[in-house]
Amino acid sequence: MTADASVKPELRANVPDALTLATELIRAPSVTPDSGGALEIVARRLEAFGYHVERLTFDSGGIPIPNIYARIGTGAPNLCFAGHVDVVPEGDPAHWLHGPFAGTVEDGKLFGRGAVDMKGAVAAFLAAALAHGRPETGSLSFLITGDEEGPALDGTVKVVEWLKEKGEVIDHCVLGEPTNPQAMGDAFKVGRRGSLSGILTVKGVQGHVAYPHLADNPIPRLLKLVGELTSAPLDHGSDFFPPSNLEVVSIDVGNPVFNLIPAEATARFNVRFNDLYSLETLKSEIIRRIDGAGLTYDLAFQPGASQSFLTAPGPFVDLVADAVEAETGRRPEASTSGGTSDARFIKDICPVVEFGLVGQTMHKVDEATPIADLEVLTRIYSRIIARYFATFA
């Protein structure tokens, strides 16, 4: 992949700041799966500063999903910033203090859907990279998707497949998901737990509650099976991960009346699991527990499961932590908590670390980030870029 090294002098002298970029992105209403023009904003900014931009659209789920991969420089190492510009729905706009897509600045904060998750971080690493310019040695790249908050079928996972097919090598990646629980410098993600969902079904015989001998109630048997699943911890955690956690999220029989024994009962569950399990060993443990009840059941594990992963301690992890500490005065905790992210796909091609804004308001009404945090994040990303090429080039 080649890139145009020439940048118009007037652009070089007027690198946009993170607030400008974040406001522009928030005003593009990119609710999954509609990109709302947000990806094109990123693409045009990068092209103006000499990046070669690949616009990649995938459609396995029936809706075309746009993504971009952009690079400046042709040599190694290649440092990639990854993220998404799609956002969750805003809900009822009447509940917002400011319009969810207005990009309003008030009391030192930027309000709008995606301010935290994660248009603010995309803006910060754009501002940092554009200010840095083309690396003297090595490359800077961006992997930005429009399909992270949705099914994630045609986003980063497909771009990663495309990169492999093209022989495009990324050496390290920083993903801009919100990682700080309370304040900038709290934490960065060096791994994520795996996720596995399942539906457990017990069949019975429907009948009148007054004649139970003519029916077979599946509910007591389902509850016994659920008890087998949840009676003991899956584990007690590992060196880098908290204990695995199985949560029953629904028990349902679809029965709105009081005089009918249902024909079947189902339970839905999700497991967030650590590196003590693979998907296969976890499935085996779940089946072993259920089989302990000695009952007949149906079990269907759901698609979209993901393995846990860890970016091992080393120079890259230290580099990110050092940059955060230099700007915030705090050494961030190396965390593996929280839900899934697109890091679960990126880890297949390179080490990935996540660091972004404070997550207190993500997905909420009046989502907002302090402008000061945007500025700090931009400086952290700038330090990461400078130290990266000094260390790895």
| Phi, psi dihedral angles at 267 (to 5 degrees) | -130, 135
| Phi, psi dihedral angles at 219 (to 5 degrees) | -65, -50
Contacts of 168 (CB under 8 A, 6+ apart): 1, 69, 71, 162
Tokens read off for 361: 């308001």
Tokens read off for 123: 């803006």
Pairing assessment for the beta strands 109-111 and 368-370 based on DSSP bridges: antiparallel
Q: What b/e string do you get for 202-235 counting C-beta neighbours within 10 Å, with b at 16 or more?
A: bbbeebeeeeeeebebbbebbeebbebbeeeebb
Among this protein's residues, is 280 annotated catalytic?
A: no
The reply to whether 52 sits in an annotated binding site is no
Element (H, E) at 245: strand 245-252
Which one of 86, 147, 168, 327 is the catalytic residue? 86
Q: DSSP state, 191?
A: E
Order of strands, edge to edge, in the sheet holding 194-203? 245-252, 264-273, 194-203, 298-301
The reply to whether 208 sits in an annotated binding site is no
CA–CA gap between residue 377 and residue 370 (Å, rounded):
11
Pairing assessment for the beta strands 139-145 and 105-106 based on DSSP bridges: unpaired
Q: DSSP state, 332?
A: P
Q: DSSP state, 205?
A: B
* Phi-psi label, residue 261: left if phi above 0, alpha if psi -120 to 50, beta otherwise: beta
Tokens read off for 314: 């080393």
Q: Are 203 and 263 in contact (CB under 8 A)?
A: yes
Which one of 148, 154, 354, 373 is the catalytic residue? 148
Cis-peptide into 184, omega within 30 deg: no
147: exposed, middle or buried (C-beta count within 10 Å: 0-12, 13-18, 19+)?
buried
Q: DSSP state, 95?
A: G
Tokens read off for 370: 């302090």
The reply to whether 236 sits in an annotated binding site is no
Among this protein's residues, is 86 annotated catalytic?
A: yes
- Which residues are annotated binding-site positions? 84, 117, 149, 177, 363
Active-site residue list = 86, 148
Q: Which residues are annotated as a binding site for Zn(2+)?
A: 84, 117, 149, 177, 363
